[in-house]
Chain A
């Protein structure tokens, strides 16, 4: 299935994707349904700001300093900064918006002593809270009577994955960066290709349901002599965990854990080795500099956009580019669910929000309440539609009603949105979920990179990573880490609009 540039659902062009077609149809039927509480959250936030100003708790000449990354300042503050202007007009509080490079939130928060609000990735929250760099927003939520509902159609999508660490609330979700797989639909539907594939692998050419099937497709379409690479997955030294973890989590039901209850690493196991081998296996079907430092999605996305790669894994934001004028794959690609692992005749799949742009309030903020209220105002159902709907940004749907809005569907296509909804339902938290996450992930990334370069075997990589993880755990205090892990798991077990729990 695909979508037209106008966003209207079209009939499936083949029988390849019946499930995606059904999802798209049901989504299309509900397009245009307005959120039941649009604007209420924003109005309450504005009223609270006015009350604080009237009470003298916020000075009238206060300025709210926000640090946003290049590329999302427009989407977060609106096209032509219209949301910034509206906020300033309605509250009288000016916003000093600063553009920062793509860097960890921890770097931003440590470098800028008077920033009020900035964006961080999903997996960063445990470390930021642990180091006291961000405010626990739960008290502010209670103070101003807000909540982060998780139920459709009006709630945030899986707020437990993006906002909470245990009972503490680190961030207000402002993006929905769950990963998905992009494939060349034109090649999948090509009769000659289909025949050749059947001949080579003895099965129909179809959307891969498992990582093994994915590997076959990547290998099959890898034709560098014709300017086509099998995949454009990231394999640079930083961020490898994002592409390894989906392969690891599905190794056992309900999901493969990183640590046992005593914080002993579980990755130096056959499951960890298998996931690593799958991760490494794509390297030889990738563009030649894929292992280079800094060769992230900005390097790899053009391969797929220019029609030089068969597969690409990234967030749903990539859809905006692939559907844009100048894209060589416009109308020729399909977004499909993340593959999984076949276990007992069933395929177990898991996904995770790999990047994320969540709003956090600096613990050194001169105006924490104001920053929090701005975040709630910005993520109001109406205002968030304006940010997600901005072209040229990477703010993706993060509230359920975004998936049902006609304008968003025009931008992403209904088919992509239906896949996105399905991926959120199998999503698990990004990273480890405990303090020290950046250290654990840095060790994992490093050994994954070494394995990808062939300098370590998969087993060696996992064993050495596990050894480093043990040292990190011992250094941070095993009991403390065990308690943090228990708190994180307990928080995930809390009900979240009927979604899956980790």
Chain B
């Protein structure tokens, strides 16, 4: 198929523009020629008429000014002003001369006569003025004035007249030239307008024809495109292909085919995309919910949270941050993190940020801070970095938690841990620490330190008789007096109970503490007013000196304690320095205690039994079980040596329980051996009695051994009864309800009173041997024993006297109507086998003299 010859759109447009351009260029050339001619005429008119006219007016004005200067000269009286005036006239005249000569030359080119006349008049006038100036400079002002009035006036008038005449002529010529120029311009303007109209018409017709052809073909193409856009298949586009529009139609046809096929693919892709969008939307919703959750968590978190960029610029702070720090959030955002830390201990924020970014656990600290309103609070600060999705630290997270309450609790706990709540004095823990400190100071300074162990004499009695409230009052006052007696740098501590410790340091000599001890004793001399009573107590003070009496705190305290016991034993209300003998005694006690532990297991403990005799019948009615310790190396250890140690160490409970069970077991053994039933008296120590398991222990012993309770008598001391009365009463009552007997041992040495004897379910009083042994020779002891027996009888109680070793005493007891006796006179304490033999040999039958005494 033969294609038509190609004439593209660009060629068509260029052809059209070229034709139009030619027309416009022609119009411009014609118009420019017309304007050039018009301009030339105006320039000619300006040069020939207007400018000369203006200069003529200027010359008239300058000439008038010159004349004014002439006239003013006559009025200048000061010679110095004359000089200045003449200088001005000369300057003005010179300038005008130059201008006029130039103008006259130009004027002469056109009208030589006028030019000549102007120059002549000007020279005439100027010569007069020069004469005037010369006279003025010569100070001949009168002559100068004459020139002004007569000499220069006529030349001036002539000059002015000539200038006016020339101006008039010039003005007329200018008007005529203007009219001629205006007429020529009107004709040329009309011709130019006609040409413009013709050129415009040609261009319009050409554009209309070519435009119609192009537009028609584009409309056809537009119709097909419209149908394709509406989803209709418009079919093949029939447009001739000699130019770009034809090319466009062919391309459109190819595009139509591809559009149809791609539309199908797009619909499939759309469906797939919608599915993915839906899934993504759900993911986003979940993420958004999490984001809201996290956001609310941070926003509502009671911990103040601040988020800053890694460069430290604050981006966010939650409400708690403002509440805790008192800083308004609005003022925080945008500030540097270092500026948000407020008052308080300064923080090395750069170091903190470094730790937050590089350390695994970030940076944290606790400090006391101050809010803007001045209030103080404790807070915990934690700074950590937050990493972005690439694991790079992108933000800083600063949390600030108000821990004021917790801190106060800790301070309170710390206080309680170190101070005695009753007296406010340092407690044992703090005292120990102060002692270490004092020893360290003494070591460094080459001085001495002292530990003064103080125990209040008779305090236990006060506490037991008047109650804890009164006892506490006494302790508070005692603490106050101790503090008042000491220097501020000394430590007064309460170790517990009625024990105090005073620590002195910086002493030159250990003897210096004597004065301190005496001062303390003097401070206690006055009674203590407590609850409307006046109580009296005194200190027993033990003093140990560092480093002489101990190289460590424990040793020093122990030795002070030992010295204090020495003071007690020395009669109380005094002080004693530690010496090595005390230590030796303590060591011995410690050795004994070590050996005593396990003595039962090693069967070193045994019971001996001492018979008890009924004074009315002379028969053995029972025995007292007495503990004995046979050590393989030490042999028999006296009870006075090891019983106090057992009591102090608490071993007495276990030993006492063993004694109880063993005594019960032996009593049952004897019964089973056919011996008559005896009452087995067992001593209960105070420690053992106060033990909460005593009741169960007794019940258990009876149950395990099968001893009838009526065959068991528990001996307790007066001291048990007078302390913690209600508890002891309840415990004694329960034991009594088992059916056993209760007796009071060592009666008369304590603080018994009728009231508690009356209240407690006691069966018997055991009169202490200290009264019994000398009653045959000491009338007071005899009277006392008699009074005890009489009182017991009044209360319905039996009495037994211990320590009966000779007949006169026995006689006295009988005379007093004592019920029972016990002592060497009737038999020493003896092992179980010996005691059984003693009974079997009826050795319990006393001698004839004794019988007589007993039965008389």
Chain A, residue nearest B81 (CB): A71
From A326, A392, A393, contact of B138 by CB (8 A): A326
- The reply to whether A328 and B77 contact each other, CB–CB distance below 8 Å, is no
21 contacts between A and B (CB under 8 A): A69-B78, A70-B78, A71-B84, A102-B78, A298-B78, A298-B79, A301-B79, A302-B138, A302-B139, A306-B138, A317-B80, A321-B79, A321-B83, A324-B83, A326-B135, A327-B138, A391-B83, A392-B83, A392-B85, A393-B84, A394-B80
B83's nearest neighbour on chain A, judged by CB, is A392
The CA-CA distance from A321 to B87 in the complex, in Å, is 12
With a CB–CB cut-off of 8 A, which chain B residues contact A393? 80, 83-84
Q: How far is the CB of A104 from chain B (nearest CB, A)?
A: 15
Beyond contacts A326-B138, A393-B80: 15 other A-B pairs, Cβ-Cβ < 8 A, are A71-B78, A71-B80, A71-B81, A75-B84, A297-B79, A298-B77, A302-B79, A317-B80, A326-B134, A326-B135, A327-B138, A392-B84, A392-B86, A393-B83, A393-B84
Contact B137 A325 (CB under 8 A): yes
| Chain B residues in 8 Å Cβ range of A481 | none
The smallest C-beta distance from A165 to any residue of chain B, in angstroms, reads 27
Given contacts A326-B134, A392-B86, contact A72 B139 (CB under 8 A): no
Least Cβ–Cβ distance between B94 and chain A, in angstroms: 14
Complexed CA–CA distance, A102 and B80 (Å): 11
| Total B residues in contact with A, Cβ cutoff 8 Å | 20
Contact residues of B between 84 and 98, Cβ < 8 Å to A? 84-87
CB <8 Å contact, A305 and B80: no
Cα A72 to Cα B81 in complex, Å, equals 8
In the assembled complex, the Cα of A70 lies from the Cα of B87 at a distance in Å of 14
Contacts of B136 in A (CB 8 A): 326
* Cross-chain contact A391 with B80 (CB below 8 angstroms): no
Closest chain-B Cβ to A464's Cβ sits at a distance in Å of: 32
How far apart are A164's CB and chain B's nearest CB, in angstroms? 27
- Give min CB distance, B778 to chain A, whole Å: 118
Asked if A320 and B83 make an inter-chain contact with CB atoms under 8 angstroms apart, the answer reads yes
**B residues within 8 A CB of A286?**
none
Whole-angstrom distance between the Cβ of A375 and the nearest chain B Cβ: 21
**Given A298-B79, A394-B80 in contact, is the A306-B139 Cβ separation under 8 Å?**
yes
Query: Is B555 interfacial (CB-CB < 8 Å)?
Result: no
Contact with B along A111-147 (1 / 0, CB 8 A): 0000000000000000000000000000000000000
Choice from B76, B78, B79, B87 contacting A391 with Cβ under 8 Å: B87
- CA gap between A325 and B133 in the complex, in Å: 10
B140 interface residue, CB < 8 Å from A? Answer: yes
> DSSP class of B's interface residues: helix, strand, loop or mixed?
helix
**For A317, what are the chain B residues with a Cβ–Cβ distance below 8 Å?**
80
Asked whether any CB of chain B lies closer than 8 Å to the CB of A74, the reply is yes
A328 close to B138 (CB less than 8 A): yes
Contacts of A320 in B (CB 8 A): 83
CB distance from B135 to the nearest CB of A (A): 8
Write the chain A residue with the least CB distance to B91: A80
Identify which of residues 184-239 in chain A touch chain B, using a CB-to-CB cut-off of 8 Å: none
**Smallest Cβ-Cβ distance to B134: which chain A residue:** A326
Smallest CB separation, A269 vs chain B (Å) = 36
Q: How far is the CA of A392 from the CA of B78 in the complex (A)?
A: 11
- Chain B residues, CB < 8 A from A326: 133-138
* A residues with CB within 8 A of B: 69-72, 74-75, 102, 297-298, 301-302, 305-306, 317, 320-321, 324-328, 391-394
Q: Which of these, B81, B84, B138, contacts A305 with CB under 8 Å?
A: B138
Q: Which residue of B lies closest to A297 (CB)?
A: B79
Which residues between 363 and 392 of chain B lie within 8 Å of chain A, taking CB atoms? none
Q: Give residues in B with beta carbon < 8 Å to A.
A: 76-81, 83-87, 133-141
B138 surroundings in chain A (CB, below 8 A): 302, 305-306, 326-328
How far is A328 from B87 in the complex, measured between Cα atoms in Å? 18
User: Closest chain B residue to A317 by CB distance?
Assistant: B80
* Cα-based distance from A70 to B77 in the complex (angstroms): 10
- Distance in Å from the Cβ of A83 to the closest Cβ of chain B? 15
**Residues of the A chain whose Cβ atoms lie less than 8 Å from the Cβ of B140:** 302, 306
Pairs of residues from A and B, 4 with the lowest C-beta to C-beta distance, nearest first:
A326-B137, A302-B139, A71-B81, A392-B84
Q: Which residue of B lies closest to A72 (CB)?
A: B80
For residue A75, which residues in chain B have a CB less than 8 angstroms away from its CB?
Answer: 84
A391 to B137, CA, bound (A): 13
Chain A's nearest CB lies how many Å from the CB of B854? 133
- Of all chain A residues, the one with the shortest Cβ separation from B77 is A298
In the assembled complex, the Cα of A265 lies from the Cα of B783 at a distance in Å of 140
- Nearest-CB residue, chain B, relative to A301: B79
A70-B76, A70-B78, A326-B134 in contact; A301/B83 too (CB < 8 A)? Answer: no
Q: With A302-B139, A305-B138, A306-B139 known to touch, is A74 a contact of B79 (CB < 8 Å)?
A: no
CB distance from B272 to the nearest CB of A (A): 73
Whole-angstrom CA separation of A326 from B133 in the bound complex: 9
B67 CB to nearest A CB, Å: 20
Q: Which of B76, B80, B84, B133 has the most CB of A within 10 A?
A: B80
Nearest residue in B to A298 (C-beta to C-beta)?
A: B79
Question: In this complex, what residue of B is CB-closest to A80?
Answer: B91
Assembly CA distance A75 to B83 (angstroms): 12
Cα-based distance from A367 to B141 in the complex (angstroms): 41
Q: How far is the CB of A14 from chain B (nearest CB, A)?
A: 27
Alpha-carbon distance A330/B386, docked complex (angstroms): 100
Contacts of A321 in B (CB 8 A): 79, 83, 139
**A80 vs B440: C-alpha distance when bound (angstroms):** 100
Chain B residues with CB under 8 A of A72:
80
* Chain A residues within 8 Å of B78, by CB: 69-71, 102, 298
CA A74 to CA B86, docked complex, whole Å: 13
Minimal beta-carbon separation of A180 from chain B (angstroms): 16
Q: How far is the CB of A97 from chain B (nearest CB, A)?
A: 14
Asked if residues B84 and A324 are in contact (CB atoms below 8 Å), the reply is no
Separation of A18 and B135 alpha carbons in the complex (Å): 36
> Is there contact, CB below 8 Å, between B81 and A301?
no
Given contacts A391-B87, A392-B87, contact A327 B137 (CB under 8 A): yes
Report A-chain residues with C-beta under 8 Å of the C-beta of B81.
Answer: 70-71
A71 contacts across to B, CB distance below 8 A:
78, 80-81, 83-84
B86: chain A residues within 8 A (beta carbon): 392
Which of A74, A297, A324, A394 is within 8 Å of B137, CB to CB?
A324
Inter-chain contact A392/B139, CB cutoff 8 Å? no
A297 cross-chain contacts in B, Cβ below 8 A: 79
B87 nearest in chain A by CB position = A392
A325 to B135, CA, bound (A): 10
A298 to B79, alpha carbons, bound, how many Å? 5
User: In the complex, A71 Cα to B81 Cα: how many Å?
Assistant: 4
CB pair B137–A301 under 8 Å, yes or no, is no
**Bound: A298/B136 CA distance, A:** 12
CA distance A270 to B85 in the complex (A): 46
Q: Which of B76, B83, B136, B137 has the most CB of A within 10 A?
A: B83
Distance of B483 from chain A, by nearest CB (Å): 71
Residue in chain B with minimal CB distance to A102: B78
* Residues in A neighbouring B83, C-beta threshold 8 A: 71, 320-321, 324, 391-393
Residues of B within 8 A of A301 (CB): 79, 139
Docked Cα-Cα span, A129 to B37, in Å, equals: 76
Determine whether the beta carbon of A74 is less than 8 Å from that of B84.
yes
Among residues of A, the one whose C-beta sits closest to the C-beta of B136 is A326
CA distance A321 to B77 in the complex (A): 15
Q: Whole-angstrom distance from the CB of A163 to the nearest CB of chain B?
A: 23
Q: How far is the CA of A305 from the CA of B138 in the complex (A)?
A: 7
Contacts of A391 in B (CB 8 A): 83, 87
- Given the complex of chains A and B, what is the CA–CA distance between A65 and B136 in angstroms? 31
CA of A321 to CA of B138 in the docked complex: distance in angstroms?
9
Cα distance A394–B83 when bound, in Å?
A: 10
Q: Which residues of B contact A74 (CB under 8 A)?
A: 84
A327 proximity list for chain B (CB < 8 A): 137-138
A447 CA / B760 CA spacing, docked (Å): 147
CA distance A321 to B139 in the complex (A): 9
Verify B76–A305 contact, CB threshold 8 A. Answer: no
Chain B: minimal CB distance from A81 (Å): 12
Assembled-state Cα–Cα distance A325/B134 (Å): 8
B133 to A: closest C-beta gap in Å: 8
Min distance, Cβ A394 to any Cβ of chain B, angstroms: 4
